[in-house]
Structure 1
Amino acid sequence: MKKNIAVVWGGYSSEWIVSEKSMVGICSFLDTKLYNVYSVKIDRQSWNVVADGAEYPVDKNDFSFSVEGEKVNIDFAYITIHGTPGEDGHLQGYFDMIGMPYSSCGLMASALTFNKYICNNYLKNFGITVAKSRHFTKDMSYDLGQVGEELGYPLFVKPNTGGSSFATTKVKSLNDFQKAMDDAFNEAEDVVAESFISGVEVTCGCYKIGNEKTLLPLTEVVTTNEFFDYNAKYAGQVEEITPARISEEMTLRIQQLTSRIYDLVGAKGIIRADFIISDNVPFLLEVNTTPGMTVTSFIPQQVKAAGLSMTDVLTDIIEEEYKKVK
């Protein structure tokens, strides 16, 4: 009998637009010979299964839904919400409570990695190299002139708990600093200012099935924009080269770092770790536990370059997590 798979997308942040694209990608990858696939949209107003132009409310007691009086039970949730509540541990906690297996990292790992500042400083304690940074909340007092002197210009200002480069600004002088902070605070409750690192940007995917971890080929990110911003990510203003044009030695080093980070944060499912290589030193930018999954996203590119099938990879992840719970 086919399992019923819910591809859960949407969320409460600006990233719901990206989440929708990932949902379409995942639905195209899943093996419909094995699974009945349902799209489940979550927003602040409702949780609904979207099918054939109709919407069916989700029963939050057990994550089921009904069609013409017939109950449909979901067997597995594939979470592709970029942002809250699907990337920060909230949804994971709910699924843990009702005993629903799901694709991504658990509550603790999701909460840790979603907070960029805390995650990077946690990993720094284990020898992972990260950029110098400062953390701010709305009720803090701070001297931007002093921060600029400490971090140097240019620097980056971004929401601490966000992604897809929304409200991220490359600040070149003190004159631009306050507006960048205001933009970031409009997106999140806390903000990070981070030193600029010049170098080659790469990203590495990783997943684990049983005791076997798979480190994917690296992707090199090249853009003529100021940085890898929203337009570079989603409007084609970027060149993505897989495998990355770096030495085998550096490739192996970054794969090993990604593997170590996977274990240190307690990850499961597919993650992606982003780095900038500067003066032959890889600096960790961030850890992404619900990476983009459009047909042209980094992970599908890397899976293809590794000679693997996205359909097979997702099937392995679903079956691995399903057997743990069921």
Structure 2
Amino acid sequence: MKKNIAIIMGGYSSEVDISIKSGNVVYSQLNKEKFNSFRVLILKEKWVVLDAQENELFIDKNDFSFTQNNIKTTFDCVFNAIHGAPGENGQLLAYFDLINLKHTSAPFYQMALTFNKRDTLSAVKAYGIKTATSIYLNKGDKINLDQIITAVGLPCFIKPNNAGSSYGISKVHTKNEILPALEKAYKEDSEILIESFLDGTEVSVGVIQYKGETKVLPITEIVSENDFFDYEAKYEGKSQEITPARISPTQQDKVEKVAKKVYEILNISGFSRSEFIFVDSEPYFIEINTVPGLTAKSILPQQAQVAGISLAELFESAIEAAL
């Protein structure tokens, strides 16, 4: 008997449109012989299932079901394609746990932890993982520009602590650029992470659960046309994403081991994509994404393709692991 799969997309953050693109790709690729797939749009103002004619059918939040023509449909599993809140920060997953509904992401606490850049860095540092020098600000904190520069140097990165897709991030080169960059970041979040600039090759490493094993995918090298891997570089073609990365066998071995270690330290399940920068052949951990982009042009699907894994196989494996 075919399983009913809810593909959740949308969300409450700036990443709504990107999430919908990811969700639609999952919907189009899932094996229709094995699964009954449903697109579920999660927005602040409504939770709805979209039928084949784009009609909206409201979700009953008591048990995450919907009714059409007096027939009630429940789900066997949720495929999480929401980037940002409330899918990537653990909120929705805690709800699914409460109603005993399986999903393709890590447990809600792990999702909440990894969505918080500051707390993730604190967790991995305890295990000897190399990271950039960083400091934190909460909205309302007194800002001392000289102390910031002394702590992290220039240039530096100013970014929202809880946000994705490079929204709100700035690379700051001068003292005068710090305050405008903080204002930009505070539009996305009330917590700010300020990190030292690491000059080296940037790579992205996908780690997934695939057929019962933790698998490190082929590594992608990021070459941005812009000053850093910002929104334009990620989504508007302003970068080269080279898979496999042009790194030495030693570098590859090191970053694969560190990426897998981070995945295991943080107790992740499902998909993840970690970012690293090589400094003197040593990989420095930047951040981890637990709901990475899933369009055909996104990095993780590119890596899966190089590994000989189709999108249909990639998505089906996540559902099978959840079930």
Common fold by TM > 0.5? yes
Query: Counterparts in 2 of 1:1-326, with a 5 A limit?
Result: 1-51=1-51, 52-209=53-210, 212-322=213-323
Paired letter, 1:155: C
Deviation at 1:208, TM superposition (A): 2.0
**CA-based RMSD:** 1.1
Deviation at 1:225, TM superposition (A): 0.3
Distance 1:267 1:102 in 2: 13
Paired letter, 1:11: G
Paired letter, 2:19: S
3-state SS, counterpart of residue 255 of structure 1 = helix
Deviation at 1:140, TM superposition (A): 1.6
Deviation at 1:211, TM superposition (A): 5.0
3-state SS, counterpart of residue 102 of structure 2 = coil
Conserved in 1, the CA contact under 8 Å of 2:208 and 2:216?
yes
3-state SS, counterpart of residue 12 of structure 2 = coil
Distance 1:49 1:104 in 2: 20
Distance 1:147 1:170 in 2: 14
Distance 1:108 1:288 in 2: 14
Distance 1:242 1:102 in 2: 29
Distance 1:28 1:127 in 2: 41
Deviation at 1:210, TM superposition (A): 6.6
Distance 2:320 2:226 in 1: 41
Paired letter, 1:45: E
Show CA shifts across 1:13-59 (max 9, x none). 10112111111221222111111111111111111111222101101
Distance 2:217 2:314 in 1: 12
Distance 1:229 1:320 in 2: 32
Q: How many residue pairs align between the two structures?
A: 322
Show CA shifts across 1:140-176 (max 9, x none). 2231221022211111111000010001111111111
Q: Which of 186-195 and 207-216 deviates more?
A: 207-216
Distance 2:278 2:260 in 1: 17
Distance 1:149 1:17 in 2: 38
Distance 2:215 2:98 in 1: 29
Segments of 4+ moved more than 4 angstroms = none
Show CA shifts across 1:221-248 (max 9, x none). 1112010000000101111110001012
Q: Which runs of 5+ in 1 are unaligned?
A: none
Distance 2:122 2:174 in 1: 26
3-state SS, counterpart of residue 59 of structure 2 = strand
Paired letter, 1:132: T
Report sequence identity in percent: 39
3-state SS, counterpart of residue 274 of structure 1 = strand
Distance 1:158 1:126 in 2: 24
Q: Which of 298-307 and 18-27 deviates more?
A: 18-27
Normalised by the length of structure 2, the TM-score is 0.97
Deviation at 1:310, TM superposition (A): 2.2
Distance 2:20 2:237 in 1: 17
Deviation at 1:209, TM superposition (A): 4.4
3-state SS, counterpart of residue 13 of structure 2 = coil
Distance 1:211 1:127 in 2: 27
Q: Which of 205-214 and 48-57 deviates more?
A: 205-214
3-state SS, counterpart of residue 187 of structure 2 = helix
Distance 1:202 1:225 in 2: 16
Q: Which of 80-89 and 307-316 deviates more?
A: 307-316
3-state SS, counterpart of residue 182 of structure 2 = helix
3-state SS, counterpart of residue 253 of structure 1 = helix
Deviation at 1:212, TM superposition (A): 1.8
Conserved in 1, the CA contact under 8 Å of 2:212 and 2:321?
no
Conserved in 1, the CA contact under 8 Å of 2:104 and 2:270?
yes
